[in-house]
Structure 1
Amino acid sequence: MRRLILITMLMFSGFFSSWAQKIPTAEELAKKNIEEMDKRLKLTPTQRGVIYNYVFNLSKEQLALYKKQQAGTFRPEDETNFFKLNNETNNNIKSLLKPEQVIEYNKLTEERLSGVDPNKKKKKLKKGEEEEKVVGIEGLKSVGNN
Protein backbone atom coordinates (compact mmCIF):
# COMPACT_ATOMS: atom_id res chain seq x y z
CA MET A 1 0.00 0.00 0.00
CA ARG A 2 2.82 2.37 0.86
CA ARG A 3 4.50 1.66 -2.45
CA LEU A 4 1.32 2.40 -4.35
CA ILE A 5 0.90 5.73 -2.58
CA LEU A 6 4.58 6.58 -3.08
CA ILE A 7 4.48 5.70 -6.78
CA THR A 8 1.29 7.72 -7.26
CA MET A 9 2.81 10.72 -5.51
CA LEU A 10 5.98 10.50 -7.61
CA MET A 11 3.94 10.32 -10.81
CA PHE A 12 1.88 13.36 -9.86
CA SER A 13 4.92 15.36 -8.77
CA GLY A 14 6.70 14.50 -12.02
CA PHE A 15 3.67 15.47 -14.07
CA PHE A 16 3.07 18.77 -12.31
CA SER A 17 6.74 19.78 -12.20
CA SER A 18 7.11 19.27 -15.96
CA TRP A 19 3.84 21.08 -16.56
CA ALA A 20 4.82 24.07 -14.42
CA GLN A 21 8.23 24.53 -16.06
CA LYS A 22 7.25 24.57 -19.72
CA ILE A 23 9.95 26.29 -21.74
CA PRO A 24 8.53 28.60 -24.39
CA THR A 25 9.50 28.03 -28.01
CA ALA A 26 11.52 30.52 -30.02
CA GLU A 27 8.36 31.34 -31.95
CA GLU A 28 6.42 32.10 -28.74
CA LEU A 29 9.23 34.32 -27.44
CA ALA A 30 9.51 36.18 -30.73
CA LYS A 31 5.76 36.65 -31.01
CA LYS A 32 5.50 38.06 -27.49
CA ASN A 33 8.44 40.35 -28.12
CA ILE A 34 7.02 41.63 -31.43
CA GLU A 35 3.58 42.21 -29.90
CA GLU A 36 5.11 44.40 -27.20
CA MET A 37 7.27 46.26 -29.70
CA ASP A 38 4.34 46.74 -32.09
CA LYS A 39 2.21 48.12 -29.28
CA ARG A 40 4.92 50.54 -28.11
CA LEU A 41 6.56 51.47 -31.42
CA LYS A 42 3.58 51.22 -33.81
CA LEU A 43 5.52 49.20 -36.38
CA THR A 44 4.62 49.10 -40.05
CA PRO A 45 3.85 45.65 -41.50
CA THR A 46 7.24 45.61 -43.25
CA GLN A 47 9.09 46.56 -40.06
CA ARG A 48 7.13 43.94 -38.12
CA GLY A 49 8.06 41.18 -40.57
CA VAL A 50 11.76 41.98 -40.76
CA ILE A 51 12.12 42.59 -37.01
CA TYR A 52 10.27 39.34 -36.30
CA ASN A 53 12.95 37.45 -38.26
CA TYR A 54 15.73 39.12 -36.25
CA VAL A 55 13.99 38.46 -32.95
CA PHE A 56 13.16 34.86 -33.91
CA ASN A 57 16.82 34.12 -34.70
CA LEU A 58 17.91 35.70 -31.42
CA SER A 59 15.29 33.68 -29.53
CA LYS A 60 16.55 30.45 -31.11
CA GLU A 61 20.08 31.25 -29.98
CA GLN A 62 18.84 32.18 -26.52
CA LEU A 63 17.06 28.84 -26.14
CA ALA A 64 20.09 26.96 -27.46
CA LEU A 65 22.25 28.71 -24.85
CA TYR A 66 19.71 27.84 -22.14
CA LYS A 67 19.73 24.18 -23.20
CA LYS A 68 23.53 24.12 -23.10
CA GLN A 69 23.44 25.55 -19.59
CA GLN A 70 20.93 22.92 -18.51
CA ALA A 71 22.98 20.11 -20.09
CA GLY A 72 26.22 21.36 -18.57
CA THR A 73 27.92 21.88 -21.94
CA PHE A 74 27.96 25.67 -21.59
CA ARG A 75 31.21 27.50 -22.38
CA PRO A 76 32.02 31.17 -21.74
CA GLU A 77 32.51 31.69 -25.50
CA ASP A 78 28.85 30.75 -26.01
CA GLU A 79 27.75 33.62 -23.82
CA THR A 80 30.12 36.03 -25.57
CA ASN A 81 28.79 34.97 -28.97
CA PHE A 82 25.22 35.41 -27.76
CA PHE A 83 25.91 38.95 -26.54
CA LYS A 84 27.53 39.80 -29.87
CA LEU A 85 24.47 38.48 -31.69
CA ASN A 86 22.23 40.43 -29.31
CA ASN A 87 24.11 43.67 -30.04
CA GLU A 88 23.99 43.02 -33.79
CA THR A 89 20.27 42.33 -33.58
CA ASN A 90 19.64 45.56 -31.64
CA ASN A 91 21.65 47.53 -34.18
CA ASN A 92 19.80 45.92 -37.08
CA ILE A 93 16.44 46.66 -35.45
CA LYS A 94 17.42 50.29 -34.83
CA SER A 95 18.47 50.69 -38.45
CA LEU A 96 14.91 49.76 -39.50
CA LEU A 97 13.18 52.17 -37.14
CA LYS A 98 12.30 55.82 -37.59
CA PRO A 99 14.08 58.27 -35.23
CA GLU A 100 11.06 58.60 -32.91
CA GLN A 101 10.74 54.80 -32.82
CA VAL A 102 14.42 54.45 -31.92
CA ILE A 103 13.87 56.67 -28.87
CA GLU A 104 10.95 54.51 -27.73
CA TYR A 105 12.90 51.32 -28.51
CA ASN A 106 15.76 52.53 -26.31
CA LYS A 107 13.26 53.18 -23.49
CA LEU A 108 11.79 49.70 -23.96
CA THR A 109 15.24 48.11 -23.85
CA GLU A 110 16.19 50.09 -20.75
CA GLU A 111 12.98 49.05 -18.99
CA ARG A 112 13.66 45.41 -19.77
CA LEU A 113 17.21 45.63 -18.45
CA SER A 114 16.24 47.54 -15.31
CA GLY A 115 13.31 45.29 -14.46
CA VAL A 116 10.64 47.98 -14.67
CA ASP A 117 7.30 46.60 -15.81
CA PRO A 118 5.26 49.26 -17.66
CA ASN A 119 2.10 47.12 -17.36
CA LYS A 120 2.06 47.25 -13.57
CA LYS A 121 0.17 50.10 -12.03
CA LYS A 122 2.41 52.45 -10.17
CA LYS A 123 1.50 52.87 -6.55
CA LYS A 124 1.43 56.37 -5.23
CA LEU A 125 4.50 57.17 -3.21
CA LYS A 126 4.47 59.25 -0.11
CA LYS A 127 6.64 62.31 0.05
CA GLY A 128 10.29 61.32 0.37
CA GLU A 129 9.76 57.68 -0.71
CA GLU A 130 11.56 56.25 -3.70
CA GLU A 131 10.26 53.71 -6.19
CA GLU A 132 11.64 50.22 -5.61
CA LYS A 133 13.32 48.74 -8.67
CA VAL A 134 14.08 45.09 -9.11
CA VAL A 135 17.60 44.67 -10.42
CA GLY A 136 19.89 41.86 -11.44
CA ILE A 137 18.63 38.45 -12.42
CA GLU A 138 15.34 38.93 -10.54
CA GLY A 139 14.57 41.92 -12.75
CA LEU A 140 15.21 39.87 -15.86
CA LYS A 141 13.04 37.03 -14.56
CA SER A 142 10.15 39.38 -13.82
CA VAL A 143 10.29 40.87 -17.31
CA GLY A 144 10.38 37.42 -18.91
CA ASN A 145 7.33 36.19 -17.00
CA ASN A 146 4.88 38.71 -18.44
Structure 2
Amino acid sequence: MMKRLIFTMLMIIGVFFSAFAQKQPTAEEIAKKNIDELEKRLKLSSTQKNVIYNYAFSIAKEQLALYKKQQASGYNDEDITRYYRLQNESNKNIKTVLKPEQVVEYEKLIEERLSGIDPSKKKKKRKKGEVEEKVVGIEGLKTGNN
Protein backbone atom coordinates (compact mmCIF):
# COMPACT_ATOMS: atom_id res chain seq x y z
CA MET A 1 0.00 0.00 0.00
CA MET A 2 2.69 2.51 1.02
CA LYS A 3 4.94 1.55 -1.89
CA ARG A 4 2.00 2.01 -4.27
CA LEU A 5 1.36 5.46 -2.80
CA ILE A 6 5.03 6.36 -3.16
CA PHE A 7 5.08 5.12 -6.73
CA THR A 8 1.91 7.07 -7.52
CA MET A 9 3.31 10.27 -6.03
CA LEU A 10 6.55 9.88 -7.97
CA MET A 11 4.54 9.27 -11.14
CA ILE A 12 2.58 12.47 -10.50
CA ILE A 13 5.81 14.36 -9.93
CA GLY A 14 7.24 12.78 -13.08
CA VAL A 15 4.22 13.78 -15.16
CA PHE A 16 4.39 17.27 -13.71
CA PHE A 17 8.07 17.58 -14.62
CA SER A 18 7.65 16.03 -18.06
CA ALA A 19 5.01 18.63 -18.85
CA PHE A 20 7.73 21.22 -18.26
CA ALA A 21 10.48 19.26 -20.00
CA GLN A 22 12.15 22.41 -21.34
CA LYS A 23 12.13 24.12 -17.96
CA GLN A 24 12.05 22.13 -14.76
CA PRO A 25 10.23 24.06 -12.03
CA THR A 26 12.25 25.25 -9.10
CA ALA A 27 11.50 24.53 -5.47
CA GLU A 28 10.36 28.15 -5.17
CA GLU A 29 7.85 27.73 -8.01
CA ILE A 30 6.47 24.50 -6.56
CA ALA A 31 6.19 26.02 -3.08
CA LYS A 32 4.50 29.15 -4.47
CA LYS A 33 1.95 27.07 -6.37
CA ASN A 34 1.25 25.06 -3.21
CA ILE A 35 0.91 28.21 -1.09
CA ASP A 36 -1.39 29.83 -3.66
CA GLU A 37 -3.71 26.82 -3.46
CA LEU A 38 -3.60 26.81 0.34
CA GLU A 39 -4.24 30.56 0.49
CA LYS A 40 -7.26 30.20 -1.76
CA ARG A 41 -8.73 27.18 0.07
CA LEU A 42 -7.85 28.14 3.65
CA LYS A 43 -7.93 31.96 3.42
CA LEU A 44 -4.51 32.29 5.05
CA SER A 45 -3.37 35.45 6.79
CA SER A 46 -0.09 36.96 5.56
CA THR A 47 1.70 35.62 8.66
CA GLN A 48 0.33 32.10 8.11
CA LYS A 49 1.27 32.30 4.44
CA ASN A 50 4.88 33.26 5.23
CA VAL A 51 5.34 30.56 7.87
CA ILE A 52 3.72 27.82 5.79
CA TYR A 53 5.76 28.83 2.71
CA ASN A 54 8.94 27.79 4.56
CA TYR A 55 7.50 24.31 5.16
CA ALA A 56 6.25 24.03 1.57
CA PHE A 57 9.66 25.11 0.27
CA SER A 58 11.45 22.43 2.35
CA ILE A 59 9.12 19.74 1.02
CA ALA A 60 9.52 21.01 -2.57
CA LYS A 61 13.33 20.92 -2.28
CA GLU A 62 13.16 17.34 -1.01
CA GLN A 63 10.74 16.37 -3.82
CA LEU A 64 13.10 17.77 -6.44
CA ALA A 65 16.10 16.04 -4.89
CA LEU A 66 14.24 12.73 -4.79
CA TYR A 67 13.07 13.17 -8.38
CA LYS A 68 16.59 13.97 -9.60
CA LYS A 69 18.02 11.00 -7.71
CA GLN A 70 15.34 8.74 -9.16
CA GLN A 71 16.15 9.98 -12.67
CA ALA A 72 19.90 9.48 -12.17
CA SER A 73 20.21 6.24 -10.26
CA GLY A 74 16.96 5.33 -8.59
CA TYR A 75 16.06 5.79 -4.97
CA ASN A 76 15.92 3.52 -1.96
CA ASP A 77 13.51 3.00 0.90
CA GLU A 78 15.64 5.20 3.17
CA ASP A 79 15.18 8.16 0.80
CA ILE A 80 11.42 7.64 0.74
CA THR A 81 11.28 7.27 4.52
CA ARG A 82 13.22 10.52 4.98
CA TYR A 83 10.91 12.33 2.56
CA TYR A 84 7.74 11.10 4.29
CA ARG A 85 9.15 11.90 7.72
CA LEU A 86 9.78 15.50 6.55
CA GLN A 87 6.34 15.67 4.96
CA ASN A 88 4.59 14.39 8.08
CA GLU A 89 6.55 16.75 10.31
CA SER A 90 5.76 19.68 8.01
CA ASN A 91 2.05 18.80 7.92
CA LYS A 92 2.00 18.66 11.73
CA ASN A 93 3.78 22.04 11.94
CA ILE A 94 1.45 23.58 9.37
CA LYS A 95 -1.56 22.46 11.42
CA THR A 96 -0.18 24.29 14.48
CA VAL A 97 -0.20 27.54 12.47
CA LEU A 98 -3.79 27.10 11.29
CA LYS A 99 -7.04 27.91 13.04
CA PRO A 100 -9.26 24.88 13.89
CA GLU A 101 -11.61 25.47 10.94
CA GLN A 102 -8.60 25.78 8.62
CA VAL A 103 -7.19 22.49 9.92
CA VAL A 104 -10.40 20.72 8.88
CA GLU A 105 -10.14 22.13 5.34
CA TYR A 106 -6.39 21.40 5.21
CA GLU A 107 -7.02 17.76 6.10
CA LYS A 108 -9.63 17.57 3.31
CA LEU A 109 -7.10 19.01 0.88
CA ILE A 110 -4.44 16.48 1.90
CA GLU A 111 -6.96 13.66 1.53
CA GLU A 112 -7.88 14.89 -1.96
CA ARG A 113 -4.24 15.04 -2.98
CA LEU A 114 -3.56 11.53 -1.71
CA SER A 115 -6.61 10.15 -3.52
CA GLY A 116 -5.82 12.03 -6.72
CA ILE A 117 -8.92 14.22 -6.66
CA ASP A 118 -8.54 17.52 -8.49
CA PRO A 119 -10.91 20.01 -6.84
CA SER A 120 -10.67 22.31 -9.86
CA LYS A 121 -12.40 19.73 -12.07
CA LYS A 122 -16.14 19.39 -11.68
CA LYS A 123 -17.64 15.93 -11.43
CA LYS A 124 -19.81 14.89 -14.33
CA LYS A 125 -23.46 14.64 -13.33
CA ARG A 126 -24.92 11.20 -13.77
CA LYS A 127 -28.47 10.16 -14.36
CA LYS A 128 -30.23 8.27 -11.59
CA GLY A 129 -28.88 4.73 -11.38
CA GLU A 130 -25.91 5.43 -13.66
CA VAL A 131 -22.60 4.16 -12.27
CA GLU A 132 -19.17 5.58 -12.95
CA GLU A 133 -17.09 3.22 -15.03
CA LYS A 134 -13.69 2.63 -13.46
CA VAL A 135 -10.71 1.98 -15.69
CA VAL A 136 -7.90 0.19 -13.91
CA GLY A 137 -4.32 -0.82 -14.63
CA ILE A 138 -2.22 0.90 -17.28
CA GLU A 139 -5.29 2.18 -19.13
CA GLY A 140 -6.49 3.88 -15.96
CA LEU A 141 -3.17 5.67 -15.60
CA LYS A 142 -3.30 6.79 -19.22
CA THR A 143 -6.81 8.21 -18.96
CA GLY A 144 -6.58 9.54 -15.41
CA ASN A 145 -9.97 7.99 -14.55
CA ASN A 146 -8.80 5.77 -11.72
Place the TM-score, normalised by the shorter chain, in its bin: 0.7 to 0.9
2:13 equivalent in structure 1: none
Map 1:68-83 → 2, pairs under 5 A: 68-83=69-84
**Who is 2:62 aligned against?**
61
Aligned pairs for 1:1-146 within 5 A? 20=21, 22-131=23-132
For residues 64-97 of structure 1, the C-alpha deviation after alignment (integer angstroms, 9 at most, x for no partner) is: 0111101115222011100000000000000110
Partner SS, residue 41 of structure 2: helix
Question: Higher relative CO (CA 8 A, sep ≥ 6), structure 1 or 2?
Answer: 2
Partner of 1:74: helix, strand, or coil? Answer: coil
Q: Aligned in 2, Cα 1:114/1:47: closer, same or farther, shift over 3 Å?
A: same
TM-score scaled by length of structure 2:
0.75
Aligned twin of 1:8: none
User: What is the Cα deviation at residue 139 of structure 1?
Assistant: 9.5
Q: Distance in 1 between matches of 2:130 and 2:52?
A: 39
Question: Residue 124 of structure 1 aligns to a residue in which SS?
Answer: coil
Q: Report the identity percentage.
A: 69
1:82/1:139 CA distance change after superposition, 3 Å: farther
In structure 2, distance between residues paired with 1:135 and 1:42: 36
Distance 1:51 1:92 in 2: 8
Give the 3 Å change call, closer, same or farther, for CA 119–135 of structure 1 in structure 2: farther
In the TM superposition, residue 110 of structure 1 has moved relative to its aligned partner by: 0.7
TM-score between the two structures when normalised by the length of structure 1: 0.75
CA distance in 1, matches of 2:51, 2:140: 28
**Which structure 1 segments of 5+ residues have no match?**
1-16
Residue 129 of structure 1 deviates from its aligned partner by 2.9
Unaligned runs of 5+ in 2: 1-17
Q: 1:115 to 1:18 in 2, by over 3 A?
A: closer
State the 1:113 CA deviation.
0.8
- Offset of residue 121 of structure 1: 2.0
Q: d(CA) in 2 for partners of 1:123 and 1:96?
A: 36
